[in-house]
Amino acid sequence: MRLKFIEPLMPTLVENPPEGEGWTHEVKFDGYRSQMIIDEDGTRIYTRNGHDWTAKYRDLVREAKRLGAESAIVDGEIVVLNDKGLSDFAALRKAITRRQHDLYFVALICFILTATICAIWR
């Protein structure tokens, strides 16, 4: 079954996080909000607006095969980290065209629908 893009929930930036239970907080990365879809047709990566950017993220698509998921939807942020471990938007823009190996997909929400889990014992 071909899985379809699901519009992601977008966080609201505030000065201080709300107090009390019932709130979910996430770290703000300086990257591109993206959705990775894995199904019988392969792996696709979409922008937060649903544009197919699979061709721009060749290395991430190749690495996604190592997850072992047969079908999954992963909502996350594509980033490049600087020397201090912080996301760097200017470096991200360069990496997409010139330094694919610098890209990271930070998973925020992951729905693994079916998977074949393999373990190597030594």
Residue-level pLDDT at 66? 86
pLDDT at 14: 83
pLDDT at position 20, please?
Answer: 87
What is the amino acid identity at position 37?
I
Residue 69 lies in a domain: yes
Residues of the chain with pLDDT under 70: 114-122
Q: What is the pTM of this model?
A: 0.81
| Rounded Cα–Cα distance for residues 38 and 61 (Å) | 9
Number of domains the chain is built from: 1
pLDDT value of position 115:
55
Mean pLDDT over each residue of the chain, to the nearest integer: 86
Answer yes or no: 65 catalytic.
Answer: no
Residue 98 within a domain:
yes
Query: Which residue in the list 4, 28, 65, 94 is annotated as catalytic?
Result: 28
User: What local confidence, expressed as pLDDT, does residue 32 receive?
Assistant: 94
Q: Does residue 12 form part of some domain? A: no
Nearest in space to 4 (alpha carbons), one of 44, 58, 61, 55: 44
Which domain, by its residues, includes 50? 32-115
Q: What is the secondary structure of the chain as a DSSP string?
A: ------PPP-----SSPPPSSS-------SSEEEEEEEETTEEEEEETT--B-GGGGHHHHHHHGGG-EEEEEEEEEEE-B-TTS-B-HHHHHHHHHH-GGG-EEEEEEEEEEEE-------
Q: How far apart are CA 49 and CA 52, in angstroms?
A: 9
In a domain, 13, yes or no: no
The predicted-structure confidence for 66-86, as pLDDT tens digits, reads as follows 888 888 999 999 999 999 989
